[in-house]
Structure 1
Amino acid sequence: MSATTHPAYRCRPNPLHATLLAGTVPLFLGTLLSDIAYFRSYQIQWSNFASWLIAGGLVFCGLALLFALVNLLRAHPRSGRPLVYVLLLLATWVLGFINALEHAKDAWATMPAGLVLSAVVTLLACAATWIGLTNLRTGDTQ
């Protein structure tokens, strides 16, 4: 009787995909830091910075999500990691969009919901980047 194993394979992200994915973290982190600065100083310009950083983060995250969807279609049917990656990116983009709508309000009205949403989106972006940039993908072994 022969044992069949699915070998581990390396799946390196496309350089453009990796750049877009890695670009989401500093943009959403900048949003969080701008919200913290606004929360402490109440200078409206910090809220404006946060709005622009969210817009940039949504562009980068949306394009990385397109790459992730293509990778999901090409992935092994039994591997769940690409699906988790796509779902994390999708959750990051959706909550980032809700955060953009929250920041579209008057600057005084964005706190504290905007700060909490920025923290959640930053954590989701970090988790998605962690999963997306890991090189070793293992197949199912049965």
Structure 2
Amino acid sequence: MVVLSASDPLRPVHPLHAILLAFPLPLFLGALVSDLAYRATFHAQWANFSAWLITGGLLVGAFAVLWALINLFRSHSGHRKRPAVYFIVLLVMWVLSFINALVHAKDAWATMPEGLYLSATTVLLALVAAWIGYAGFRTGEVE
């Protein structure tokens, strides 16, 4: 039998929020891989791929940030630390990816090395956000 504490602030992530949260990490990771491919080959199409992947991550990530903001206000006043950290990580991820999109809007040659560094940072933040978001399940003791 699983015993759950009523005071445990962790809740399962909503299925629609889980879908929204699932997109930024692979899209930003694809942009990082495209940036690495561009750095190795200097084919401008890789920079275009990165720009499109970043745009997709921005679009879906904006809805994930909005959902996290709503969850922040819906959380109980005593249990706002985790939702606040989650929201801040998602917001910083989104802002850096927006800056990354602006960097990738330049000429392909001008995107390096800033675009590569921003892509790597965005991937790390997306990984942390996904980790925090999906770790929202209650823990219980098995008896």
- The equivalences for 1:34-45 within 5 A come to 34-45=34-45
AA in 1 matched with 2:38: Y
- The equivalences for 1:87-106 within 5 A come to 87-106=88-107
Deviation at 1:6, TM superposition (A): 6.5
Deviation at 1:136, TM superposition (A): 3.5
AA in 2 matched with 1:133: Y
Distance 1:10 1:84, change over 3 A: closer
Where does residue 19 of structure 2 map in the other structure? 19
- Whether the aligned pair in 1 keeps the contact of 2:38 and 2:47 (CA below 8 Å) is yes
Structure 1 vs Structure 2: percent identity of aligned residues? Answer: 54
1:10-40 deviation line (CA, Å, top 9, x unaligned): 4112211101101110000000000000000
TM-score by length of 1: 0.89
1:119 aligns with 2:117: no
AA in 2 matched with 1:109: A
AA in 2 matched with 1:130: W
Deviation at 1:108, TM superposition (A): 0.2
Where does residue 48 of structure 2 map in the other structure? 48
AA in 2 matched with 1:82: P
- Whether the aligned pair in 1 keeps the contact of 2:12 and 2:138 (CA below 8 Å) is no
**SS of alignment partner, residue 40 of structure 2:** helix
Q: Give unpaired runs (5+ residues) of structure 1.
A: none
TM-score by length of 2: 0.89
Deviation at 1:98, TM superposition (A): 0.2
Residue correspondences, number: 134
Q: Give unpaired runs (5+ residues) of structure 2.
A: none
The separation in 2 between residues aligned to 1:10 and 1:102, in whole angstroms, is: 37
Where does residue 69 of structure 1 map in the other structure? 69
Which 4+ residue blocks in structure 1 deviate beyond 4 angstroms? none
1:80-131 deviation line (CA, Å, top 9, x unaligned): 0000000000000000000000000000000000000000000000001100
Moved more, 71-80 or 92-101: 71-80
